[in-house]
């Protein structure tokens, strides 16, 4: 990351060009010239240039904030374009921080943009956060949320935090005017396997857009001196109901590990270890099964070509099976297996029975289990291994490593990726 | 004495691969401590116990600490269980 930034100069008046440019907001008594000058002297660190960071940075740039720091370790991918509206098709493969800076520069060249191409890390986060007045958490993973929050408490900066998933969003302003920090509300990170990210849960672009714009609004209110309305409240947005709820939060927790009266966290830690998950929204590859219970996509392709009798069981959710599937697969969502859904188990039993008629029935019938990435398929194998042999006959369940996405990259390039 | 009471809202818990539903109504005593109320809900959705310390528990849109605090509920009161979501 680049060295220390010089402070933004204090100014006493707007130029004629600035007056024209910002005239529609200058006439608002709540903002006025005084607010605009404050805005021009404010710096905002945007952590994450994705679905939340894009609209946030866009509106802050348009409104004439002084400096925007843009942090992102990732490059633009095709599946980002549906919501990360600063990045165009031509930017695919380019670092998001720079792509965002380039798009914003076209919008307002008077703002200073400082792209940081890399993840926010415990080693450098505090130095970076100290150089900015306000921090916006637009990240997509749990470890980064704790890191950003702790850094803001240690540096004494307000944190405008947004998050979105599927058709819902949350917004809060932490460490602001006696209100709580993120840890006051969530002292312990959630167990990693209860966390859903946008890659496997999905998210509607408009929802990240709405929350990102709400974050921009709160940043703008703090920077211009109006003050935020969300110091002690969390906004919950439900897009399906079209409903916003404001939940009144607790005040700062006196025994909070970081913002409390006797804090135990006085420097930044290893947040990936603390949360037991990695600081990206990429899906982790779980290893629940011994390697003897797993096959590669190449091995499965050979079995398929050799016409070895078997059952292929696809355990993805229904909505994903509707996107694409292997035609010969039997589809039963993992959830139905977990719930021991009777109809689903009967379908499985029937298919096993049919397939067994093609064999001499001396050896166990192989059941290969596939999902998107090879995590749920391992959970399903464990369930299949517990099924009673008297009903299902003798079967040998294995999962296909890397799932259908590995199939798409290594075996069949026409198979859709999502 | 139990009566149909709080419509409790599961906030964003369906993301947490827990209950898989958004909203339902539960009959609980009119006067109940926040911890007892939580336990009533966990009886219906045992997996919520996994994230007890990782949620904002709110009654009538206001944070409530899980403990001995006595709540006096009115029919239709909304109880929300809000785990953080982290996507973006
Ligand atoms: Zn705190």
Q: How confident is the model at residue B16 (pLDDT cuts 50, 70, 90)?
A: very low
Is some CB atom of chain B closer than 8 A to the CB atom of A216?
no
Which residues of A are annotated as catalytic?
198, 371
The tokens 């045992």 sit on which residue? Answer: B46
Residue in B27, B30, B32 with CA at minimum distance from that of residue B69: B32
Task: Choose, out of A190, A193, A203, the residue to mutate when testing the contact with B (most B CBs < 10 Å).
Answer: A190
Contact of A259 with A252, CB cutoff 8 Å: yes
Of B15, B61, B88, the CB nearest to A246: B61
Residues β-bridged to residue A134: A44
CA–centroid distance, residue A254 to ligand 1 (Å): 8
Classified as helix, coil or strand, A44 is: strand
Report ipTM for this prediction.
Answer: 0.82
CB contact under 8 A, A247 and B63: yes
Q: How far is B61 from chain A (nearest CA, A)?
A: 5
List pLDDT tens digits, range A149-181: 999 999 999 999 999 998 999 999 999 999 999
Contact of A54 with A97, CB cutoff 8 Å: no
List pLDDT tens digits, range B35-72: 999 998 888 878 788 888 888 888 888 999 999 999 98
CA distance A288 to A285: 10
**Which residues of B fall within a CB distance of 8 Å from A139?**
86, 88
CA–centroid distance, residue A150 to ligand 1 (Å): 8
End-to-end CA distance of chain B: 45
**pLDDT tens per residue across all 418 residues of chain A:** 667 899 999 899 999 999 999 999 999 999 999 999 999 999 999 999 999 999 999 999 999 999 999 999 999 999 999 999 999 999 999 999 999 999 999 999 999 999 999 999 999 999 999 999 999 999 999 999 999 999 999 999 999 999 999 899 999 999 999 999 999 999 999 887 777 777 778 899 999 999 999 999 999 999 999 999 898 999 999 898 888 989 999 999 999 999 999 999 999 999 999 998 888 777 667 888 999 999 999 999 999 999 999 999 999 999 999 999 999 999 999 999 998 999 999 999 999 999 998 887 778 999 999 999 999 999 999 999 999 888 888 899 999 999 999 999 999 999 999 9
Q: Would you say the C-alpha torsion A253, A254, A255, A261 has a positive or negative sign?
A: positive
pTM for this model (two decimals):
0.89
Surface of A (348-377) touching B: CB under 8 A: none
- At residue A283, the pLDDT reads 66
List pLDDT tens digits, range A103-153: 999 999 999 999 999 999 999 999 999 999 999 999 999 999 999 999 999
CB contact under 8 A, A190 and B83: yes
Provide the annotated binding site of A for ATP. 51, 72, 79-83, 96, 140-141
Contact of A111 with A135, CB cutoff 8 Å: no
Surface of A (285-324) touching B: CB under 8 A: none
Of A48, A186, A196, the CB nearest to B54: A186
Angle at A169 between CA A168 and CA A175, to 5 degrees: 155
């Amino acid at each position: 990351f680049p060295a220390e930034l010089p402070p933004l100069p204090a100014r006493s008046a707007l130029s004629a060009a600035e007056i024209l440019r910002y005239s529609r907001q200058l006439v608002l008594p709540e903002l006025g010239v005084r607010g605009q000058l404050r805005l021009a002297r404010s710096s905002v660190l945007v952590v994450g240039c994705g679905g939340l960071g894009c609209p946030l940075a866009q509106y802050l740039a348009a409104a004439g904030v002084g400096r925007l720091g843009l942090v992102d370790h990732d490059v633009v991918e095709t599946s980002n374009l549906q919501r990360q509206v600063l990045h165009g098709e031509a930017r695919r493969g380019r670092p998001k921080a720079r792509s965002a800076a380039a798009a914003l520069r076209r919008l307002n060249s008077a703002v200073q943009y400082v792209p940081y191409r890399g993840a926010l890390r415990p080693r450098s986060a505090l130095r970076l956060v100290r150089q900015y007045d306000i921090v916006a958490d637009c990240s997509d993973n749990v470890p980064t949320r704790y890191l950003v929050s702790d850094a803001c408490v240690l540096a004494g900066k307000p944190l405008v935090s947004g998050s979105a998933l599927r058709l819902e969003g949350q917004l809060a302003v932490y460490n602001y005017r006696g209100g709580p920090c993120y840890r006051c509300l969530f002292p312990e990170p959630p167990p990693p396997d209860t966390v859903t990210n946008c890659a496997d849960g999905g998210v509607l672009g408009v929802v990240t857009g709405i929350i990102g714009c709400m974050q921009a609004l709160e940043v703008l209110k703090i920077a211009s001196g109006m003050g935020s309305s969300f110091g002690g409240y969390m906004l919950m947005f439900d897009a399906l109901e079209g409903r916003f709820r404001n939940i009144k939060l607790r005040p700062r927790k006196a025994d909070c590990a970081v913002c409390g009266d006797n804090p135990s966290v006085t420097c930044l830690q290893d947040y990936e270890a603390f949360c037991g998950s990695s600081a990206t929204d990429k899906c982790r590859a779980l290893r629940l099964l011994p390697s003897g219970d797993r096959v590669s996509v190449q091995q499965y392709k050979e079995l398929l070509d050799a016409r070895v009798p078997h059952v292929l069981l696809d355990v993805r959710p229904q909505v994903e099976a509707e996107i694409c599937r292997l035609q010969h697969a039997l589809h039963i969502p993992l959830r139905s297996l977990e719930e021991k859904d009777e109809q689903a188990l009967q379908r499985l039993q029937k298919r096993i029975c049919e397939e067994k008629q093609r064999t001499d029935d001396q050896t166990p019938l192989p059941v290969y289990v596939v999902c998107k990435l090879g995590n749920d398929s391992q959970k399903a194998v464990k369930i299949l291994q517990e099924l009673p042999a008297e009903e299902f006959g003798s079967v040998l369940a294995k999962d296909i490593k890397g799932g259908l996405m590995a199939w798409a990259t290594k075996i069949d390039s026409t198979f859709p990726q999502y | 004495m139990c009566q149909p009471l709080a419509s409790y809202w599961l906030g964003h818990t369906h993301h947490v691969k827990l209950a898989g539903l958004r909203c339902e109504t539960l009959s609980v005593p009119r006067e109940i401590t926040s911890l007892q109320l939580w336990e009533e809900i966990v009886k219906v959705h045992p997996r919520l116990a996994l994230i007890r310390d990782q949620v904002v528990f709110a009654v009538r849109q206001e944070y409530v600490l899980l403990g001995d605090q006595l709540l006096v509920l009115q029919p239709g009161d909304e109880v929300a269980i809000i785990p953080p979501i982290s996507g973006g």
